[in-house]
Structure 1
Amino acid sequence: MPEIIDLSQEIYTGMPVYKGLPEVNITIHASHEQWSGIENPETLTPSVNKLEMGEHTGSHVDAINHMGAEHKDKSIDTMPLSMFYTEGICLDLSEKQPQELIEINDLVNARDKHQLEIKKGDTVLIYTDHYRRHFNTEHWIKGPGLSAEATIWLGEQGIPAFGVETMAPGVSGVSNKDVHRICGEMGFTHYENLINLHELIGRGRFRFIGLPLKIRGGTGSPVRAVAVFD
């Protein structure tokens, strides 16, 4: 039996979201008591919930059209599913501190430490342990992130995507805009807010699955990201 490791955050009312993005609110739209015609029930058992949230909520993937106006036709529903169903590796960058840049030599050293190879078509996950250390604290938004140069280097490896535990792929206010711009120009993307990456370190290659919802014109989508070991 394959081992499936869940890499996805739980989605719940009031969860942390990136600054300026829609807050998450989940309410009962209809209850079983309502459907059964029970008047003035003491409790409500949800039969249908209403979800209010942005596309970039929790563990999610960005569409290319999120990267800039010039990519307006490259919405999430137009991106090939092969971008979200790949082989993958996970690099250990857990020594990085909040708001510290991840450079090319950091990626190379992490790759070589566990004798990994970045193959064309891989999804490259970047473990910083920021989630376990700082989720839902004042430091959560201050994650380490890729530099512009490191992003270009990853794109040159021919990958469809990389993934991070943090709320942004770059350092917010330092490199994050450049990381997004470069992804758009080079035609690859990234996942944000992944979890459990520590469970992948030292284990080699795996199957990565992070399928988005088919949102017409969408700029991104929540995903149920998983790593599968056969």
Structure 2
Amino acid sequence: MKLRTLLPTLGLLALGVAASVQAADRVGTSPWGPNDEIGRLNLITSQSRAAILSRVQGERAYDLATDYYIGMPSWQAAGDPHYQFWMTHTPRGTIADDPMGVGREMNHKVSYTGAAFSMYSHSGTHIDALNHFGLDGKIWNGFSADEHLGDRGWKKTGIEKFPPLIARGVLIDVAAAQGLPMLPENYRITRQDLRNALAKQKLRLQRGDVVLIRTGRMQRFGDAAGYMANPPGLGLDAAKFLVEEGGAMIVGADNLSLETFPSEVAGDYIPVHTYLLAQHGVPIIELVALEELSRDKVYEFAFIGGPLKIRGGDAAPLRPIALPVR
């Protein structure tokens, strides 16, 4: 029976559905030392930045970010807030209210517009910090919630610690490699799927890559319910291939959850997240707009982006750019 929303899916996950793989039992220890808070982002160096930027063509830039708007797809299974937007000042309103005390005549002459917005930190195109998911009260590098989490966010591994993201980017177009505009609902991407797509694209992964997986799901972004229901996503073995064989620094996709459900791991309802974030220090990017890259068959590029520096945050909006390379 197909699940129609992620909420009942997560309910089944909590009951331990699909126990083909055993969950790992502890978080990873950083090879960059006991104070490391950024995990594999340490692979960004002056040499790696120069290497990819020296190959940029400059003829085209691809915007990989989604719009933010009321009614947009957002994660609701755990009760998090929808994106909200409201006007705080309008040209007509300021004439009546005179909030700056400058008088009616001045408010007629000088139009004033202001707005505010609120949202869950994992809304729209965003990147997860390494504190987003952990195991047994600890996150990447053994930092514990008891010691390092306060009422104003994490004291360690906050999203503000991330450096500017400049690296080689790679698109793995799994849907196109299978001759499909979009992968089927709940399709779990395998290691072999990734290998097949890379072979078809005549592309090899390199250590320190930002790897972006296309499922085709972004074609449904304008339909929040359709986008959210039963998304295809990455399987755990595929994630292991990207990290342990491919050397990925960041892994992202055009869906909201990166992985698909129900979980394939007993005792862990979201194993790809815990594997990447908590065990290997690999940040995750979700809701990446990949349709234009797919259309133009741009599989290798300079990836440039940076999250908002939200102190102690577990994620932040991201405006990634792809610049094709020679």
TM-score after normalising by structure 2: 0.64
Q: 1:169, CA displacement in angstroms?
A: 0.7
RMSD (Å) for aligned C-alpha atoms: 2.3
Q: Supply the distance in 2 between the matched residues of 1:118 and 1:46 (Cα, whole angstroms).
A: 50
Work out which of the residue numbers 172, 176, 187 in structure 1 matches 2:281: 187
Tell me by how many angstroms 1:203 deviates. Answer: 2.6
Deviations 1:104-162 (A, max 9, x none): 00011101101111111111111111111464253312211111111122111222211
The structure carrying a bigger helix percent of its residues is 2
The AA in structure 2 aligned to 1:88 is G
Structure 1 residue aligned with 2:271: 178
Pairing partner for 1:116 from 198, 203, 219? 203
Letter of the 2:259 counterpart: G
The alpha-carbon deviation at position 217 of structure 1 amounts to 0.2
Deviations 1:61-114 (A, max 9, x none): 111100224125222112333xx2211111111142111100100011101101
C-alpha separation between the residues in 1 aligned to 2:242 and 2:161?
A: 23
Q: Distance in 1 between matches of 2:121 and 2:128?
A: 9
Aligned to 1:74, which of 157, 177, 195? Answer: 157
* Match of residue 231, structure 2, among 138, 143, 147: 143
Counterpart in 1 of 2:50?
none
Aligned twin of 2:49: none
Residue matched to 2:72:
15
* Counterparts of residues 33-48 of structure 1 (less than 5 Å): 33=92, 34=94, 37-38=103-104, 47-48=113-114
Aligned residue identity for 1:152: K
Q: More strand per residue: 1 or 2?
A: 1
Contact 1:75 1:216 (C-alpha < 8 Å) held by counterparts: yes
| Aligned ranges 1:1-230 → 2 under 5 Å | 1-19=58-76, 20-33=79-92, 34=94, 37-38=103-104, 47-68=113-134, 69-71=137-139, 73-81=156-164, 84-94=165-175, 95=180, 96-133=183-220, 135-141=222-228, 142-156=230-244, 157-174=246-263, 177-183=270-276, 184-200=278-294, 202-230=297-325
Q: Distance in 1 between matches of 2:112 and 2:172?
A: 41
Q: Is the Cα contact below 8 Å between 2:187 and 2:233 reproduced in 1?
A: yes
Relative to structure 1, the CA distance from residue 46 to residue 89 in structure 2 (aligned partners, 3 Å threshold; closer, same or farther) is farther
C-alpha separation between the residues in 2 aligned to 1:37 and 1:229?
A: 52
Where 2:89 maps in the other structure, the secondary structure is strand
* CA distance, structure 1, for counterparts of residue 119 and residue 85 of structure 2: 9
Rg bigger for which structure? 2
Q: Is the 8 A contact 2:127 2:307 kept in 1?
A: yes
Q: How far did 1:177 drift?
A: 0.6
The 8 Å contact of residues 71 and 224 in structure 2, kept in 1 or not, is answered as no
- Give the conservation status (yes or no) of the 8 Å contact 1:90–1:197: no
Cα 1:32–1:144, aligned 2, differ >3 Å: closer, same or farther? same
In structure 1, C-alpha distance between the alignment counterparts of 2:162 and 2:247, rounded to whole Å: 16
Matching residue's letter, 1:172:
F
C-alpha displacement at 1:38, in angstroms?
4.2
- Secondary structure of residue in 1 paired with 2:272: helix
Residue identity opposite 2:238 in structure 1? A
3-state DSSP of counterpart to 2:68: coil
Normalization by structure 1: what TM-score? 0.88
Judged with a 3 Å threshold, the aligned counterparts in structure 2 of structure 1 residues 188 and 66 are, in CA distance, closer, same or farther, namely same
Does the CA contact (< 8 Å) of 1:129 and 1:198 recur in 2?
no
